[in-house]
Structure 1
C-alpha cells in the first residue's frame, strides 16, 4: 500500500463525528461553491495584471552563482509583490547569497493560475535555460483546490516532477498547499470546505514528495494569525494574494529548509541528525509526520532512517523539524 493510499485510508476511517461533518460539508458541493464563489469575487479586489519579473542574479559576492529554479503558481510567481525584490524566490535568493557567500541566480518559471499539471512544462522551460540547477523550490496546490482537481491526479503530477529532478540529483523543497480557509473574503461555509480540501491535499503532497526523495515545508495557516491581525499589511491590494510582507513571511519559513537542502544551513549536520522533542520535532511514520505538519505552519518533513532502516511497520520513516525562522532579508531589496 503506497503512502498516499495509506493516507486516504486513514482519512476514510476517521471518527464518526469528523466523517459526518466532512460529509455534510462535501454534500454542499459545487452549488455552494458557485454561489459563494460569486460573492467572494465581488469582495476580492481587482486582480493584478501579472507579477514582477524576478529572474536574475542576487548577491554581490564573487564566484559562480548558485542556480535556483522556482516552479509553481501565482504565489511562486510573486503576484501581489510591487517589485522584483519582494517575491518569495528573490527573498530566498538574497538570503542564500548571504548565507553561502556566493551569488544566486534565480530562474522563475512559475505561472499565475497554474495547477500541478503545469509543472512538467514549467520544468522543461527551466531546464532549457539552466543546464544543472543546484536547488529547486516548488509552491503549488491552491489552484488544484479551487478548481477541484482530483487530489490523486494533482499529487501524481507533483510527484513526477520531483522524481525527475531527483534523478538529476537536484535537491527539491516543496511548499505544500496553504490553508485556503484563512483567506479573509471567503465566507463560511465555503471557507470550511476549502480548509478541509487544502489540508488534505497538503498532507498527500507531503507523503508523495518525501517518498520521492525531497522535503516539504508546511505553509498551512502560516499567514493566518498575521492576516487576521493585520489584513491590510499581509494582503496585497486584491485581498487574496500576499503582500510583500506576506511573501517575506513565507520566504522566511522556506529559507532554512532550502539552505539545509544545500548543506548550507548553520549547524545543519547536527540539526539534521538530532530532532528536538522540546521543539515539537521527532521521528515517526511518514503518515504521522504529514498529519502533524498540516497542523504546524513552517514544519519541514523529510525522509529518515532508524537503525539503518528506511521503513517500519507503518511505512516510510520521516522526520519532522521546526527549523528556526530567522528574520528574512529586507523585502525592499
Structure 2
C-alpha cells in the first residue's frame, strides 16, 4: 500500500510539474505574441539604401565595405539615408582613414543567421575589403537554437575569410532592453541573447574574424533611457540609436583593416560610450558637474582593475552627428601620399 501511495504521489507531483511547465510556456508564447503585435502595430518605413560612395574629397584607393545582416544593419524605420548605420559607418571610416569609401548595403529586413549566405556571395562578388555583419536578433525572436544560429554565422565568416574578405561581427545585443518585452519573457530573451552573443564571439574569432560586443557597449545606455534610444515601435533603434550603432562600428572596422592598432580601437569604442579607467571617470565628473559614475566591466584587452562608466544623460542625449549622403559615382581623387 505504501508503495502504491508513493507512486500515486509521484504521479501527482509529476503531473503538477507538467501542468506548471505548460502554463509557463503558455505565458511566454502569449507575451511573445503581444510583443510582436505591439511592435507591428506601428508602421515603420523601410530606410533608403546607404549603398554608394563616401568621402569623395579624400585621396587614395577606396575602401570597399560590405554591410550584411538584418534590419539593424538596414536602419529599419529611418526615412533619411544619413540616419542609417551604414551611412554613419562609411562616413566615419572615410573621415578617420582619409580615404574614399564604397559601401555595399546587402542587409535584408527579417534576416536570420541562416539567411546570410546569399549576402556573403554578393559581398565576395563586390570584392569587399571588409564585411561588417549585424545579425542574431531574429534568431532570438524566432527562438532559433543558439548552436544552429552560430553555426550558420561561422560558415559565413569562414566563406568570407577564404575569399580574402576580412570580417567584423557586431554581436547580438540584449533584446530584453526592448520595452514591449515583459517578464518572464524578458529574462528568457536576455538569456537567449547572451547565449547567442557568446557563441558568436567564440566561433567568429575561431574562424579568423573579429567581433565587437554591442551588448557591452550600447546595452547600458539603451536600458537606462529606452525612450531616447528606441524608435516608434519601441523595438528598433531610433535615429540616435542607429547613429550610436554606426559610430561604435567605426574603430573596430579601422582596426580590422589595419589602419589603427587594436588598443586604440578598443579605447575609441569604449571611450565613445564613456567607459574608462576609474581615475579618468572621476576627473570627468569633476569637470562636468552632474556626471553619474557607475562601475563597469574591464574592456577586453585593457589592463587595470578599476573601470567605470561616466554617464551624463544630458550629454548622452545630444543630437549625434549624422552620416553623409552617398554619391552614386566614384570620386576622381589623386593618389593618397601613402600610395605614391
Q: Same fold (TM over 0.5)?
A: yes
Deviation string, structure 1 residues 26-85 (Cα, Å, up to 9, x no partner): 977652332002222343341424222111111121333210001101001110223112
Q: 1:81 touches 1:236 (CA, 8 Å); kept in 2?
A: no
Deviation string, structure 1 residues 220-251 (Cα, Å, up to 9, x no partner): 16444433444332111211100110011122
Change (3 A) 1:272 1:57: closer
The match for 2:49 is 53
Residue 126 of structure 1, CA deviation: 3.0
Larger RCO (CA under 8 A, 6+ residues apart): 2
1:203-242 pair list within 5 angstroms: 203-220=198-215, 222-242=217-237
The match for 1:330 is 321
1:105-144 pair list within 5 angstroms: 105-128=102-125, 130=126, 132-144=127-139
State yes or no: 1:244 paired with 2:239: yes
Change (3 A) 1:101 1:112: same
Q: Which runs of 5+ in 2 are unaligned?
A: 1-19, 268-275, 279-295, 308-317, 325-340
The match for 2:81 is 84
1:137-176 pair list within 5 angstroms: 137-176=132-171
The match for 2:33 is 38
Q: Which runs of 5+ in 1 are unaligned?
A: 1-24, 281-295, 301-318
Q: CA RMSD in A?
A: 3.3
Q: 2:157 touches 2:167 (CA, 8 Å); kept in 1?
A: yes
Change (3 A) 1:62 1:273: closer
Deviation string, structure 1 residues 280-320 (Cα, Å, up to 9, x no partner): 9xxxxxxxxxxxxxxx89956xxxxxxxxxxxxxxxxxx57
State yes or no: 1:177 paired with 2:172: yes
Q: 2:134 touches 2:172 (CA, 8 Å); kept in 1?
A: yes
Secondary structure, aligned partner of 1:54: coil
Looking at structure 2, the residues matched to 172 and 213 of structure 1 have their Cα atoms a distance apart, in angstroms, of: 8
Change (3 A) 1:199 1:328: farther
Secondary structure, aligned partner of 2:214: coil
Looking at structure 1, the residues matched to 165 and 186 of structure 2 have their Cα atoms a distance apart, in angstroms, of: 36
Looking at structure 1, the residues matched to 302 and 135 of structure 2 have their Cα atoms a distance apart, in angstroms, of: 20
Equivalent residues, number: 268
Deviation string, structure 1 residues 133-192 (Cα, Å, up to 9, x no partner): 111100110111111112111111100110111112222110011101111111111111
Residue 212 of structure 1, CA deviation: 0.4
Secondary structure, aligned partner of 1:330: coil
Secondary structure, aligned partner of 1:165: helix
Change (3 A) 1:95 1:26: farther
Q: Rg bigger for which structure?
A: 2
The match for 1:69 is 66
Change (3 A) 1:112 1:119: same
The match for 2:252 is 257
